[in-house]
Structure 1
Amino acid sequence: MSDVLACIDGSPASQAVCDYAAWASRRLDAALTLLHILDPQRYPQQRDFSGSIGLGSREHLLDELALLDQQRHRLAMEQGRLMLEAARDRVHTDGVAQVQLRQRHGDLLDNLLELQDDTRLLVIGRQGARSSAHLQQLGSHLESVIRAVQRPILVSCGEFKAPQSYLLAYDGSPTAQHSLQRIAASPLLQGLPCHLLLVGNASDTQRALLEDAAAQLAGSASQVSWAIRQGDVEQALPAYQAEQQLDLLVMGAYGHSRLRQFLLGSTTSALLASSQSPLLILR
């Protein structure tokens, strides 16, 4: 069974991650897994100090350093366990009964790649526990996760608000068409009003693409609107979203057009950092 997988790290973003994961779990009728990763750089399981300058003959000091590492690791595991239990209580309150807790040691991305075969949707916060308090700073792992994980990713930005509408960025390409079909077939956004936005020059061809896309979403969305805007993707999308007061931005990832390659460079950081709403990234 494929679960909703939520990354919990003790940062302020974790509460919203729990709430969005619970919302997605209910919408998808899927089990929820809460995951906490112990970073080996911060909490090594065992370090070898024997090669440290000046420490080779001081065995008692080496033993004390090793013991301190063990204690730090044990305390970190206990803190993570308590964190996961608090997160479980929160999602239970949100109405999710089936919750699995997982605590693993190692690199976040490596663990997510190991777990992705059993993952239906990944929920992660924009900021991690080691990020600056600045609201628009991205977590250090976020972009690498988006580039590598081959599952839909819901990025939580700010406080939780259950999505009541969504904006789907569309350009008529095969990748965008695939994203459209996945949204139409998924219960995640079923019954919500959808706005389709194409960033580019208006033409009869572009209008026909949007009209066809709207027809494909007619059985899924409660209402479908479409529009064409000129300008840069990273400016046009959030401007239209704010104008229409849409709760969620949905985008396909990677490709060759201007729209789909926004995740390849600085535009990724600009959109993720400036967004006032969650983003659903489709691969």
Structure 2
Amino acid sequence: MINRLIVGFDGSPSSYAAANYAFDLGSKLNIPVVGIYVIDKRLLDETLLEDLAGILGFTFYLGISQKVKEALEKKADVLFQEFAELGRQKGAKVSLVQVEGIPYEEIAAEADEDDLIFVGYKGMHLVKGVLIGSTAERVIRKAPCPVFVSRDNYKPIKRVGIAFDGSPVARKALKVGAELAKGYGANLEVIFVEPNENFPEEVIDQLKAEADKILGEENADYTFTLLKGFPEEQLVEYQANGNVDLLVMGAFGTRPLKEILLGSVAYFVMHNAQGPVVFVK
């Protein structure tokens, strides 16, 4: 059971979309939606600000970090008003948290195992290239719970697709996907991508039987879809073609170090998906 919905909200288009998805689910499940705004402490580092002054052409002076902090706090006030109003319009229970720190660390720290985090794929950046790395990707790696990653565009979720390959994390994804489908009032689909033409038929039958067992325990009706090709490409294309509105999948498989070093299906999907994806660990 999902306990709370944690939304990393920074005013970017994808964070607004993430908030809408969270409010939809929160209002239907009658659970709290917590908006968190993180004042990025890296932007209060005067050494960084001195470097930015040269890039952006503003005048640097000692103590400028306090002015930056005040500006970010004012921005937080405006964003919180917008977040709360949007939540009220959707009938959600809304609360707000403002903290100072590293965004991905603070967002992940706010959540517990029974929560669901919502973040936008692309957050707000002061200067392209200054803040290195993806907040969404780092939240996924650090979070104790599943993470919903939204693109800029919001649309109601009517069909949920779960990528399933029989692995332990994919079994967890089945349960998470089933709960999300019920919460959104959406149809449920289990997707297996056959990686080669000679894939054993009996293995596919075993996967279907396993999905039947797990989703039967969740009282979830579903359809089974078999695709062929490279899993990451097929999943992205299948969603992009409008077959599913929300994709649910395991985050990093069973070999996290190797996945970090060599890349993964989840990594490809995260950076190429056209719609929202929930990553389960």
Matches within 5 A, 1:47-86: 65-66=62-63, 68-86=64-82
C-alpha distance in 1 between matches for 2:137 and 2:26: 24
Determine if contact 2:159/2:187 at 8 Å carries over to the other structure.
yes
Q: Displacement, 1:118?
A: 7.5
* TM-score, scaled relative to structure 1: 0.79
Aligned match of 1:25 = 26
Pick the aligned partner of 2:142 from 139, 148, 168. Answer: 148
Q: Displacement, 1:220?
A: 5.2
Aligned match of 2:152 = 158
Determine if contact 2:163/2:248 at 8 Å carries over to the other structure.
yes
Q: Displacement, 1:20?
A: 1.0
Aligned match of 1:92 = 88
Q: Residues 119 and 263 of structure 1: is their aligned pair in 2 closer, same or farther, counting only changes over 3 Å?
A: farther
Q: Displacement, 1:215?
A: 5.1
Residue 5 of structure 1 aligns with an amino acid whose one-letter code is I
Q: Residues 131 and 20 of structure 1: is their aligned pair in 2 closer, same or farther, counting only changes over 3 Å?
A: farther
Matches within 5 A, 1:54-203: 65-66=62-63, 68-96=64-92, 98-117=93-112, 120-130=115-125, 140-184=134-178, 186=179, 188-190=180-182, 191-200=185-194, 201-203=199-201
Residue 194 of structure 1 aligns with an amino acid whose one-letter code is L
How many residue pairs get matched? 259
Q: Residues 118 and 262 of structure 1: is their aligned pair in 2 closer, same or farther, counting only changes over 3 Å?
A: closer
Residue 147 of structure 2 aligns with an amino acid whose one-letter code is I
Determine if contact 1:166/1:247 at 8 Å carries over to the other structure.
yes
Worse-matched range after superposition: 240-249 or 272-281? 240-249
Determine if contact 1:17/1:123 at 8 Å carries over to the other structure.
yes
C-alpha distance in 1 between matches for 2:200 and 2:88: 48
C-alpha distance in 2 between matches for 1:194 and 1:131: 39
- Is residue 234 of structure 1 aligned with residue 226 of structure 2? no
C-alpha distance in 2 between matches for 1:241 and 1:12: 20
Q: Displacement, 1:181?
A: 3.2
Q: Residues 131 and 172 of structure 1: is their aligned pair in 2 closer, same or farther, counting only changes over 3 Å?
A: farther
C-alpha distance in 2 between matches for 1:92 and 1:268: 34
Could you list the per-position Cα deviations for residues 108-128 of structure 1 after superposition, in whole angstroms to 9, with x for gaps in the alignment?
Answer: 122134322276110000001
Worse-matched range after superposition: 248-257 or 165-174? 248-257
Identity in percent: 25
C-alpha distance in 2 between matches for 1:239 and 1:131: 32
Determine if contact 1:194/1:225 at 8 Å carries over to the other structure.
yes
Residue 44 of structure 2 aligns with an amino acid whose one-letter code is Y
Q: Displacement, 1:156?
A: 0.6
Residue 86 of structure 1 aligns with an amino acid whose one-letter code is E
Determine if contact 1:196/1:214 at 8 Å carries over to the other structure.
no
Residue 163 of structure 2 aligns with an amino acid whose one-letter code is A
C-alpha distance in 2 between matches for 1:212 and 1:176: 11
Higher helix share: 2
Structure 2 unaligned segments of length 5 or more: list them.
48-59
What value does the CA root-mean-square deviation take over the aligned residues? Answer: 3.2
Q: Residues 132 and 274 of structure 1: is their aligned pair in 2 closer, same or farther, counting only changes over 3 Å?
A: farther
C-alpha distance in 2 between matches for 1:254 and 1:117: 19
C-alpha distance in 1 between matches for 2:3 and 2:261: 26
Q: Displacement, 1:218?
A: 4.9
Could you list the per-position Cα deviations for residues 63-93 of structure 1 after superposition, in whole angstroms to 9, with x for gaps in the alignment?
Answer: x521x32122112111111111111111111
